Amino acid sequence: MHLRVSIRAVTLALTGLFVVSACGGGGTTSQNLASPDKQVINMNDGTEPNSYDPTQQTYVYEAAVGRNVFETLLKSNKEGTDVISAAAESYKVSDDGLTYTFKLRSGAKWSDGKAVTAADWVYGYKHLLNPALAAGYVDPFFDSTIKGADGYGDVDVSKASAIDTFLSSLGLTAPDPNTFVITLQHPAAFFKWVVTLWMAAPIRQDVVEQAAGGTFPSSDTTKAEIWAQKAATIIGNGAFKISEIVSKDHVTLVPNPSYWGGAPHLQKIVLWFIEDANTAYAKYQTGDLDAITVPLANVDVVRNDPKLSKEAKVYPKLTTFWMAYNAQKPPFDNPKVRMAFAKSIDRDKLNKQVQHGIQQSISSFIPKGMAGYDTSNNAQSFDAAAAKKLLTDAGVTADQLNKFKLLTRNTTRNKTLNQFIVDQWNTNLGLNLQLEVIDSKTVTSRLRKGQFDLYGPDGWGADYPDQQDWFDLFFKGACHSLNWGCADIPGYDDLVKKADSELDQNQRNADYKKAQDMLIDQAVVGFIFQDYEYNLIKPYLGGLTITASDDQSLPGSLFWHDAFVTQH
Amino acid sequence: MAVDAGRPKRGALLPKRMAAVTDSRLGSLGVYILRRVLWMIPVVFFVIVITFVLMHSATGSPWDKTGGRQLSQVVVDNLNKKYGLDRPVFEQFLLYLWNVLHFDFGLSYQYQGKSVIQLISEGWPYTATIGTLAFLLIVPVGVGLGVLAALRQNTRVDYATMGFATLAASFPNFVVGALMVVLFSVLTYKWTGGNFFLPAGGWGVDDHLVMPVITLSLLPIAYTARLTRASTLETIRQDYIRTAWAKGLPERLVVIRHVLKNSLIPVVTTLGPTFAFLVTGSVIVETVFSIPGIGRAFVVAVTSRDYPMILGTTVLFSIVIATANLIVDVLYVFIDPRVRLT
């Protein structure tokens, strides 16, 4: 059981330091490559995608399929420092930063052999931006950037004509079959990352309409999704295609014979939907799975096992966790009180005693592996005496605080973590706080209405390694979206918005740094740890490129095209 | 002749020539079954009403995410429109009933574009297969052990059987399942160098079924064995059994024809609900062994507030349970000649 962090996929580590190869050492020669019929990997995706339409996918376990079946215009490089060409051969940004011209790869083909044209891209983006289909990722990435898309929320979705008017007003054009142009509302230095998101994919209009039995009005939400139900009609432009879907059991990917990048070594990738981490752990040991996330309870077993310990890999995720305070409720409107709570958690002890030393303590926002990672501000670092003094300075007594409860999602890991954290607060601040454990949906519903005192651990996983993806979480307007506590930070929104649209990267970084200091100094939340993945990977998996943005439990999922199986 | 006030005599409302049918034993059984089947309609209706009310009074919307950024209000509004959740609850209820009358159970909120009927027909075969196999194991083993223990009361056989039953009943199935996986999959794999082991989970109509079926059937076996033992003990003290022995019948005949037939009545009563329980799935067994069945789908639907899926599975479960009870009632007629269905 892992914390349901941000659902949104995580993207990328900064340095090559984190790019580890699972290949046992020696290079690949044709000698140690297993025969084609053995080029099969079995991975655990955990849960079946709710949809096989990439534009509708929001969860990590969905992105793993979407990213391999559909290819976006650009993708992240292996180090996660910048974007590289993917379906687009090259791209150009106009001087005013408003027009992005993508030159599509000539000769790129769909999995049924037809050529990928700019019209397919326009159709795909419009499918994503159709408000009637209510795709989870349009806001804020696309509706706040693409020209005309700011009216996304005002469209009457019951009227096809209103939707069509909206879609045709969008800044998406195809001047020729090999050129796709996107116009923006305002300069956005991070937009090159937005087009790497898996839902920004091309879609074949003829396939969608054929599956639906003819053309249909854009307000028809059922017909628009029929094509995504069957493997045969999920035509993609990615390195792999879906050959079989066994609902709730597994999905099988095979090479897309028309892929421009050539044939991969892997002849089959089977993604199993095994929810129970212990079952997956057993299946890894009996050779049915080739990689898994080690269940927390078995970490020490793996470490002490002579064979398994050699197959273990630890790598960072671009995910930070924190504790949230309801700043609308006195005394949590007082930054000193919030800071006292932040400073009274011994993060190293938490990591060692509860998390088997896998995670990394953190008292700042941006995780290691991304531009913006900066530990110089240690205002939130553990210091029990200083924390207690802050409470006294604020004139807050234990009696005032003891009525508050820590809202906790009903999962094993959340309960364990919060048990420890409440104990830290009680010990270090002389309090007597309690947990309030309830089912996850109810927790979310209460958070959205602001009905809580303390909540956590809450977290964020990067969608892409640009700081813009992080700082907008704490906008005033995100008050009921992820900024649960709704703390008032004067000047924060303006500063972050300025950094978002700035074209000079150095100036952007400087502004984001100031924003991060605001979050830390005002103790908007109390940062506690960065997530790390602790995986077992069979030694015969070669050519894996593991990055901090790999999909959960799926090492190397962003670059499986280059992976292979060695003889074993 | 006294007549029940307010209640017409059986068959009184039927045309005269039907009387021949309703007066015969099988004919009256047919009418009885028909009546019970018709009774299912109000039962299902009330199940829908209760589920609908409970479901909508649970906090949390289907669109609330259990982590990460929440959908913006615009998207939530559009989703509500897409699935008709923007209408008043009462209107939604009437619309649902209307659709159910047309065998349309709606689209799942969680699995895009999939209908509830499709999801159920995908998942139920797995669950039904395991449940039926478990049931086929429970009846002979449970009843057999129970009879054996009763006939050998207060001997080692009795103690061993009942000891096993107590153990099997007190171990929760997630413990049994996990233990079996460690023993028969992981460790056996190690010991035999990967040549022989039971699969740790997943689906296949082969050795994949062994552990889930055993895990699922242990508790009902224990329960059935205890019940059979108690009921058999009671039966063997009856006068007619003494008569059977006195007639000099061989043990086999006494047990099968006289003891078993009479002691099975309470057992059959519980086997009905047991069967219903088995074929509607166990979330634990399906999770531990990673079986894509309906038991897990139901729990996932509840936690994700997938309203149409919750309703669809509840309706299915209520029909299965009602049918199982009906079958039990009909079986009485054949097992016990004293039972008359009127």
Q: Is B156 helix (H, G, I), strand (E, B) or coil?
A: helix
Q: Which residue has the tokens 């037809």?
A: A114
| Nearest residue to A367 (alpha-carbon basis) of A315, A417, A405 | A315
If we measure between CA atoms, which residue out of A340, A357, A362, A347 comes closest to residue A460? A362
Q: Does B273 touch chain A (CB under 8 A)?
A: no
Interface subset of B 48-87, CB within 8 angstroms of A: 58-61, 64-75, 78-79, 81-82
Tokens in use for A222? 């059922």
| Residue positions counted in chain A | 568
pLDDT tens digit string along A108-130? 999 999 999 999 999 999 999 99
* pTM, entire model: 0.90
Q: Is A147 touching B (CB cutoff 8 A)?
A: no
Residue A96 neighbours by CB distance under 10 Å: 10
Distance from CA of B44 to the nearest CA of A (A): 28
Summarised one tens digit per residue, pLDDT across range A347-379 is 999 999 999 999 999 999 999 988 899 999 999
Q: How far is the C-alpha of A14 from the C-alpha of A549, rounded, in Å?
A: 10
Please report, for residues A70, A93, A307, B90, B283, the alpha-carbon distance to residue A47 in angstroms, rounded to integers and kept in the order given.
19, 38, 28, 34, 15
Q: What's the pLDDT tens digit per position in A48-61?
A: 999 999 999 988 89
Q: Which helix (H) or strand (E) holds B91?
A: helix B89-101
Q: Which of B56, B72, B206 to mutate to test the interface with A (most CBs of A within 10 A)?
A: B72
Task: Provide the pLDDT confidence category of residue B4 given band limits of 50, 70 and 90.
Answer: very low
Q: How confident is the model at residue B281 (pLDDT cuts 50, 70, 90)?
A: confident
Is B173 touching A (CB cutoff 8 A)? no
Enter the tokens of residue A32: 């140690």
> If pLDDT is split at 50, 70 and 90, which confidence band does B17 have?
low
What is the C-alpha to C-alpha distance for residues B244 and B282, in angstroms, rounded to an integer? 43
Radius of gyration of chain B (CA): 25
Q: What's chain B's length in residues? A: 342
pLDDT for residue B20: 60
DSSP type of residue A494: H
In degrees rounded to 5, what are phi and psi of residue A277? -60, -30
For residue B71, the model assigns a pLDDT of 84
For the record, the structure tokens of A511 come out as 């502004």
B 207-226 residues with CB below 8 A of A?
none
Q: What is the pLDDT of residue A16?
A: 31
Beta strands in A462-538 (DSSP E): 525-537
The HSE-up count of residue A551 (CA atoms within 13 Å, CB side) is: 26
How close A453 comes to chain B (CA, Å)?
18
- Both structure tokens of A274: 């095994």
With residue A252 as reference, give the H or E element that holds it. Answer: strand A250-255
Mean pLDDT of B225-246: 93
Chain A within 8 Å of B153 (Cβ-Cβ)?
no
Q: Which chain B residue has its CA at the smallest distance from A154's CA?
A: B74
Closest in A139, A272, A443 to B74, CB measured? A139
Is residue B338 very low, low, confident or very high in pLDDT (cuts 50, 70, 90)? Answer: confident
ipTM of the complex: 0.87
The CA-based dihedral angle spanning residues A522, A526, A528, A533, taken in that order and rounded to the nearest 10 degrees = -90
The verdict on a CB contact (< 8 Å) between B290 and A274 is yes
A222 with B107: CB under 8 angstroms?
A: yes
Q: Are strands A454-461 and A291-293 parallel, antiparallel or unpaired?
A: unpaired
Percent of chain B with pLDDT strictly greater than 90: 65
Longest dimension (CA), chain A: 73
Give the C-alpha separation, A486 to A474, whole Å: 8
Cα–Cα distance, A515 to A509 (Å, whole number): 10
Q: Are A435 and A415 in contact (CB under 8 A)?
A: yes
Selecting from A136, A249, A282 the residue whose C-beta is nearest the C-beta of B200 gives A282
pLDDT, tens digit, 9 for 90 and up, residues B130-161: 999 999 999 999 999 999 999 999 999 999 99
Nearest-neighbour CA in chain A from B174: distance (Å): 11
CA distance linking residue A145 with residue A171, whole number of Å: 10
The enclosing H or E element of B231 equals helix B210-235
Inspect the interface and report whether the beta carbons of A274 and B201 lie closer than 8 Å.
yes
Cα gap A283→A277, rounded to integer Å: 10
Cis peptide before B172 (omega within 30 of 0): no
Whether chain A has a CB inside 8 Å of the CB on B120: the answer is no
CA distance A1 to chain B (A): 13
Binned at pLDDT 50, 70 and 90, residue B278 comes out as: very high
Separation CA B215–CA B185 (nearest Å): 14
Q: Is B22 on the interface with A (CB under 8 A)?
A: no
Output DSSP code: residue A115.
Answer: B
DSSP letters, A449-480, are TT--SEEEEEEEE-SSS-THHHHGGG-GGGTT
Residues of chain A found within 8 Å of residue B72, distances taken between Cβ atoms: 139-140, 153, 481
Per-residue pLDDT at A183: 97
Per-residue pLDDT of chain A (568 residues; tens, 9 = 90+): 333 343 333 332 323 333 333 333 344 455 589 999 999 999 999 999 999 999 999 888 999 999 999 999 999 988 888 999 999 999 999 999 999 999 999 989 999 999 999 999 999 999 999 999 999 899 889 999 999 999 999 999 999 999 999 999 999 999 999 999 999 999 998 999 999 999 999 999 999 999 999 999 999 999 999 999 999 999 999 999 999 999 999 999 999 999 999 999 999 999 999 999 999 999 999 999 999 999 988 999 999 999 999 999 999 999 999 999 999 999 999 999 999 999 999 999 999 999 999 999 999 999 998 889 999 999 999 999 999 999 999 999 999 999 999 999 998 889 999 999 999 999 999 999 999 999 988 999 899 889 999 998 999 999 999 999 999 999 988 787 788 999 889 999 999 999 998 888 899 999 999 999 999 999 999 999 999 999 999 999 999 999 988 888 999 999 999 999 999 8
Task: Report the residue of B57, B61, B70 to disrupt the A interface, i.e. the one with the largest count of A CBs within 10 Å.
Answer: B70
Rg (CA), chain A: 24
Quote the pLDDT of residue A86. Answer: 96
CB atoms within 10 A of CB B173: 19
Least CB–CB distance from A442: residue in B60, B74, B185: B60
**Chain A neighbors of B125, CB-CB under 8 A:** none
Quote the minimal CA–CA distance from A53 to chain B in Å: 9
Residues of chain A with C-beta less than 8 angstroms from the C-beta of B290: 272-276, 279
One-letter amino acid identity for A534? Y
Both tokens of A270, joined, read 């089977």
